[in-house]
Amino acid sequence: IFFSVKVYVKLNHNSPRILCRTSHLQNLELIDPKFQWNGPDGGLSLETSSVEISPTGTLILRNFNLSGIYACSIFYKLTAMQPDKNLLIKYLIYAYSDPKNKYEFTAWYHAAPCTSSHNTYLEKILLQVLNKLVAELSCEVTFIKAECHHVKMQRGGLQNEIFFTFPDCVASLNMEKYNRLCQGSACDASHRLNKAKHLIERFLKQQVEVSRKSSEPLPEIHYIEGTLQMVLVDHCYPGYGINALIHPYCPECCVVCSPGSYNPSNGVHCLQCDSSLIYGTTKC
């Protein structure tokens, strides 16, 4: 007899008690029951610190991170004269994490000619400055792309403009150190993310204010007032994704991607592997 059950365990947490019996068997007296657990890597043993198995076959997985099929075989008799019975219970155990928030923001800058090395230098310096702004919050700003365009202005000629896209991600760069410096709600990820957002907004606003107060003409490369846009989005860790159809009992969880799919860049959903990349270096 075979049963299959889905279980969701938070990444790097202990699993709930996973029973090696059905509700029907719990109400019966079993003679000489024997239990045998197997996981994705083979048999489970009490000798490993990541596994706890009780005398009655109940399993607890500690610091869980290995998703896959966990199967328990129970051998038992209902009477001393009967032959052994065997029941196989298969658990599909998935590691999951809560979605993380990040701000994706874009900003436009007046630029040098699109082939100029000055634009590349701006990208490098801007990224360094933004990361220095949010470093004390244990946050990180990572660069997505920069696109240089020729823009026809109203009643004017062509201008070169750079379109920057950054995700402002809360990341555990040095959370141990940060947690010693913050207190209570100030340590919360959403609080740190909002504070990082305000620091970046203030930084760009100050650039505009300095330019207004200066009697000097604007430099060739400068931030264009009012072009900053920030959008709050969810994301999952690489290798995890949200799919309410496949995981209806954990619809808002970032669940480990199934074989043949991947999430390499902190997106929201697992993507199907490209068959043409089977022999490449893809995470599939």
pLDDT value, residue 158: 47
pLDDT value, residue 66: 93
pLDDT value, residue 123: 83
Task: Write the pLDDT tens digit of every residue in 211-226.
Answer: 888 888 888 888 888 8
Cβ-based neighbours of 160, under 8 Å, separated by 6 or more: 110, 111, 112, 113, 114, 148, 149, 150, 151
CA distances from 101 to 77, 178, 235 (A): 53, 19, 6
Residue type (1 letter), 233: V
Q: Is the pTM of this model over 0.75?
A: no
pLDDT value, residue 160: 57
- Counting as low any pLDDT under 50, the low residues of the chain are 156-158, 167-175, 278-282
Task: Write the pLDDT tens digit of every residue in 26-38.
Answer: 888 888 899 999 9
DSSP assignment letter at 275: G
Q: Do the beta carbons of residue 267 and residue 236 sit within 8 Å?
A: yes
Ranges of H-type helices in 41-163: 117-134
Instruction: Report the distance separating Cα 208 and Cα 56, nearest Å.
Output: 70
